[in-house]
Each structure stands twice: as structure tokens, then as C-alpha cells.
Structure 1
């Protein structure tokens, strides 16, 4: 079989840039070469083709009909070559494929889109699939590998899990029935929880997680009465609306779950609730690391965790 002559990549690149610029000086600047070197490369390519690709005069540079045909043939091939190499590098790093991202409630709030957009821009060969988790078992899907990485409420204090960048920090409110006396207050305190019924939970969330979000006693030690156990957030809202109890929540709940039969009253002395990226110690794949890096960089670009 006869050997087919194929130009080198730098020759094709020089040809395509000159075909776009039609100016040796601008082409040399883009390629960071001297004009003499660009001219030398183009002449070598023309010798290999066997005919001129450009018409050169003292005033202008123009493609010959053969040069225009070659440009049209090469552009999609050259672009495809670059894309193929990018995919190969991404695959070698293990970033291509599918990344399963779990999120609890509103996730990282408005910063979620920034994180996703940044990740997709950096890793177009990786598809993100989103999965909602529930507060009855916020860590279960991560531990079962249903999701690769999780955007969830803290605290998370598990030896097999890693807590990454905090992406959202917000104050807490007390969700009460719209007709409740607390609904007329400017704010309430943790001590006020001793005078109401606070809903309990059913599920596999760590005890310390619930004790943070729904404490068992006030700061002075007064017990907080627990009501009916609930399994989902919508069930919790329905029970509050019908006057069967109250519940501490993140302040963003008012924005995303506002309804006329529930009032959200600032809980002035409660610590902020944070949302962070969490993943398995044994599941720190290249895709997970890339997502964590995107989350970190989005937080930095935002000037810190998102706030409400």
C-alpha cells in the first residue's frame, strides 16, 4: 500500500489560522511565531499539496479556490481532532461519564446553578444526574452509592464521610401555624420552644443531626415537647398548617415553601444552619474531586457561602 502524505498538525493549524486572518502578521501573533516562520510553514504545506493555497501580493492575501476547498474540508476535521483529544484526556482522568449528585431540600440554594454550570463548562463529557434525598435518611443514598456526592445540611460527623466546602449558610426560623400567637411576634427564642409542641422525626438520620435541628431541651434545660413523628417535609408542612405543632427550619424555607397558612418567625438565638458538599471516603473518584473543586471555586467566586 502506498504511503499517504499527511501534514503535521502545526502546519494544519498555521494554514487554518492564515485562512481566517488572511494576514501573515496577525497569524504570526496568534501562533506566537515570526512571520518568516509562518511563511516557511505555509510554503512547505503547499509543496506537499502540490499547488498554491494562497494568492500573495504586496497588498493582500487571499485563498485560492484549492485553498478555500481545503479550508472547508479541514475545519470540521481539525475541530473534531481537538474534541477527541479533550475527551481522551478527560477519560484518562476519569472525569467523563455520569456523576450522581444528591441534594437535600433546596440544596445549595441559588449557588447550585453556579456550581453545576462551572462543572459542566470544565467537564462537558460528564453528565450530571440530580437526585433528591429526604431528611428521614439524608445520608442513606450516599452510603448506598445511589449518589456519588451529596449537598446536604450539616452537621455530618461520620468516619466514612468527608465534609467539603460549605456552600450555603443561613439563619433559622420557626415555622408556626398562621393563627398561632408566635406568628404575631418579630422573633422568638429557643427558650420559647418549651411552650410548644415540636415535631419529631422517623428515619435513619443520625441522632446528633436531629438534636441540632430540633433540640430536645432549651438552653436553660427546659424540656421541649415532641409531637408526632414525620417522614417527609411536605408532611411536616401539612401538620404545622393544621395547628398540630411547630418546627425550626432554615430561613430559605419561607422563600421556597411559602404558604398562607404558615408563618415563618425568626429564631433569633439559634445557630446558623449550613449546607456542605459531602462524599464517601472510599468514593473520592476523579469525578467527585472535580465536582468538589467546582463547588469550592463557585464559593470563592461568590465571595463565600451563599446566604439568605
Structure 2
């Protein structure tokens, strides 16, 4: 399989549209069609099912995609790593973070990395609830500090940097706002917030459960896209939300009260990255995170 055939096949498998595939590859639609037909002749069977309106992968095409796509990603990553190694680790590293990121370990992690890689520039980019993993997958960021759990086959979970209790964010004046602590069981009938479809369901359900421990329903209200939007909705009395305890330190505001939550597991924040997408800079950063956590005696605690 020639390189152009492979890239055309993979792109069409992702887009399922000849026009968009041609735009991504900077080719004509006719060239895309010719390349696919040539590859199908080599294989000996159709890889796509085409109609005047729809392009679908054939069962054989789906099998080929599942076999070839990971190998292609690994090859591209290997070439990128070789290029990075050849020119050293100089260049920009984009580090994503959700919420407070690595918390108190952020500064020492960055200091360690910059000391080891003085020619590298670190850019911090905030991710949002509605698409917490998308920027990493799309290559907009190289590594990401985010809340666990993350169980995605194409992503690697690295060192845990924070392990902290969770709290309940309530609007000032809420009946539970003066409590010393609150049990999850007491929240049946309260309104939590939902999220748009970009976040894995298991991830959102861990942080914003649908039911109390005894099985009583917790209502899901308005979907939120970002953290500041969530805080504003809580402050205006449109719902309440579980959060990590460090939010009170980094995002305190006078119209939101934080009350400790009992009977819920602690939250962990870890560094994650694309399994087939590391390079010399990101690998140096991963080592800096691991070494900083070890020097700290383990994950930071609130």
C-alpha cells in the first residue's frame, strides 16, 4: 500500500465524504476517487459502499481501518519523535489542564521541566467539560492534566498529581450551605448539572452521580460546557454541583459556598497523553511530572 493510498483511505474512513476528504488532503475529488478505486483493486474487494448521498465503510473496509489506523499513528509518532530527537527538545509544548490542573504541583513541575529543557517553551491551555479529551486527541495539546477516571484505549494515564476530597458547591443561602458536611444520600431531589456529549459518560457519572448510594434519583438539569459557566449557574441558584476541594482555594467567590461531601471517593488528577503521540518534549515533561511527584512524596493533597 502506497503512502498516498493509505492516507486517502484513512481520511475517507474518518470523513465518509469525498469532498471533505479532498479538502483535507488538498486533492481533487476525482483524485481521491481514483486512489480509492486503485486500492480496492489491489485488495480485491470494495472498501466503501457508495450511493449518491451516502458513503459507508464496507465490513472489509472497517476491518482494514481497525488494523491499519493504529499502525499509521505509531509510524507518524515514531517519525515525529525521530525529528524531535534530531533537533533536541527545543520548541513549544502545549500543556492542557481542566479546572485547577496540577494544583500546587504546577509551579514545581514547570520549574523542573524548564531547568532540564531550557530551549522549550510551555503554553498552558484550559480544556472544558463539554470536550475534556478532544483537544488532546486532535493534537491541540501534547499532554493533559485532567480528573480521573480516564479509560480510553488511545490514551495513556500517567502519574497522579493530586488526590483530594470532594466538596459540594452551593449558592449562598441554600438550606445546606451552613452544614459542616453533607452526605450524598441527602441530595436526592436536588438538581445537579448535565454535560454535552463530548465527555465520556462514565467520567461525568463519577463526578456527578445520577443516584444516591441507596438508589434514589438525583436530577440532572441544564448541560454545562465550561467551569466558569458552572460556577455562575450555581451562584444564581439553578443547581448545585460536586467539585474537588481545591476549587475553593483557586476559584472562591462570595456567592458560592463549599461544603465537604461525605461518602464519596476522593478525586484524582493525573497527567495523560496520546499513547501513540509522544515526542521528545512531551516525554521530557512526563519525566518531570513523575520526578516532581516523587520528590513531593506522592500526589499533592488538598
Could you state the TM-score of these two structures normalised by the residue count of structure 2?
0.70
Contact 2:85 2:280 in 1 (8 A): no
Aligned residue in 2 for 1:295? 289
Q: Give the secondary-structure state (helix, strand or coil) at the position aligned to 2:259.
A: strand
Give distance in 2, aligned partners of 1:224 and 1:307.
28
Give distance in 2, aligned partners of 1:237 and 1:99.
29
User: Quick one: which of 145, 148, 151 aligns to 1:154?
Assistant: 148
Aligned residue in 2 for 1:285? 279
Contact 2:129 2:224 in 1 (8 A): no
Give distance in 1, aligned partners of 2:145 and 2:90.
21
Q: Give the secondary-structure state (helix, strand or coil) at the position aligned to 2:140.
A: coil
Contact 1:94 1:285 in 2 (8 A): no
Give distance in 1, aligned partners of 2:275 and 2:87.
19
Q: Give the secondary-structure state (helix, strand or coil) at the position aligned to 1:169.
A: strand
Aligned residue in 2 for 1:132? 126
Give distance in 1, aligned partners of 2:120 and 2:221.
45
Contact 1:93 1:286 in 2 (8 A): no
User: Quick one: which of 90, 99, 114 aligns to 1:96?
Assistant: 90
Unaligned runs of 5+ in 2: 1-83
Give distance in 1, aligned partners of 2:234 and 2:90.
45
Give distance in 1, aligned partners of 2:129 and 2:238.
20
Aligned pair 1:216/2:210, yes or no?
A: yes
User: Quick one: which of 170, 180, 183 aligns to 2:177?
Assistant: 183
Q: Give the secondary-structure state (helix, strand or coil) at the position aligned to 2:182.
A: coil
**1:203: how far off?**
3.9
Aligned pair 1:113/2:122, yes or no?
A: no
**1:105: how far off?**
1.3
Aligned residue in 1 for 2:67? none
Contact 2:189 2:217 in 1 (8 A): no
Aligned residue in 2 for 1:199? 193
Aligned residue in 1 for 2:239? 245
* Root mean square deviation of aligned Cα: 1.3
Give distance in 2, aligned partners of 1:252 and 1:104.
12
Aligned residue in 1 for 2:251? 257
CA separation of 1:170 and 1:213: change in aligned 2, threshold 3 A: same
Contact 2:102 2:161 in 1 (8 A): yes
Aligned residue in 2 for 1:232? 226
Give distance in 2, aligned partners of 1:195 and 1:186.
20
Matches within 5 A, 1:17-36: none
Aligned residue in 2 for 1:12? none
Give distance in 1, aligned partners of 2:280 and 2:271.
15
Deviations 1:40-92 (A, max 9, x none): xxxxxxxxxxxxxxxxxxxxxxxxxxxxxxxxxxxxxxxxxxxxxxxxxx853
Matches within 5 A, 1:44-123: 91-92=85-86, 94-123=88-117
Give distance in 2, aligned partners of 1:257 and 1:286.
34
**1:195: how far off?**
3.0
